[in-house]
């Protein structure tokens, strides 16, 4: 069966520090991968998605970036965090034959 992992689960970082969040998927190949951010009391904001290795599409301009160095690995990064980057970050995958997305457990990021 397929599983999706995210780490770390929680993170507290000072403003201006770098960020690296990792997401990996097991049990499937060539998944479509997504990064979302969920701010307190708000819905989901799509940040990036990827249909293959090295293929990244950005949905919103910001100081975040994403990379997909391997088929089932998706990384969210920042060189300098802002206070507004605080939130709950969710990684998700979708198979090539299905329409629904499957979400990881999330990373709670607090920028202080």
- Of 40, 105, 107, 102, the closest CA to residue 77 belongs to 107
Q: State which of positions 76-95 bind other proteins (CB under 8 A).
A: 88, 90, 92, 94
Report residue 65: phi and psi, to 5°.
-140, 165
Q: Element (H or E) spanning 30, and its range?
A: none
Binding other proteins (rule: CB under 8 A), the pick from 11, 13, 46, 62 is 46
Query: Which residue, 49 or 64, is less far from other proteins as judged by CB?
Result: 49
CA-based max dimension of the chain: 41
The reply on whether position 67 binds other proteins by CB under 8 A is no
The single residue listed with the structure tokens 């690296």 is: 20
Cβ 23 to other proteins shortest distance, Å? 11
- Nearest residue (CB) to other proteins, 8 versus 105: 105
Q: Is residue 71 within 8 Å of 53, Cβ to Cβ? A: yes
- How many residues bind other proteins (CB under 8 A)? The answer is 20
Half-sphere exposure for 33 (CA within 13 Å, toward CB): 32
Is residue 102 close enough to count as binding other proteins by CB under 8 A? yes
Nearer to other proteins (CB atom), residue 76 or residue 79 = 76
Residues forming the site for other proteins (CB under 8 A):
32, 34, 42-44, 46, 49, 88, 90, 92, 94, 99-106, 108
């Amino acid at each position: 069966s397929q599983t999706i992992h995210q780490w770390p689960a929680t993170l507290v970082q000072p403003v201006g520090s770098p960020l690296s969040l990792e997401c990996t998927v097991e049990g499937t190949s060539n998944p479509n991968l997504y990064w979302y951010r969920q701010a307190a009391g708000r819905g989901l904001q799509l940040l990036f998605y990827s249909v293959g290795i090295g293929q990244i599409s950005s949905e919103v301009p910001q100081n975040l970036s994403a990379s997909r160095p391997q088929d089932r690995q998706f990384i969210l990064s920042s060189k300098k965090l802002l206070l507004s980057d605080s939130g709950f970050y969710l990684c998700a995958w979708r198979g090539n034959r299905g329409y629904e997305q499957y979400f990881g457990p999330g990373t709670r990021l607090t920028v202080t």
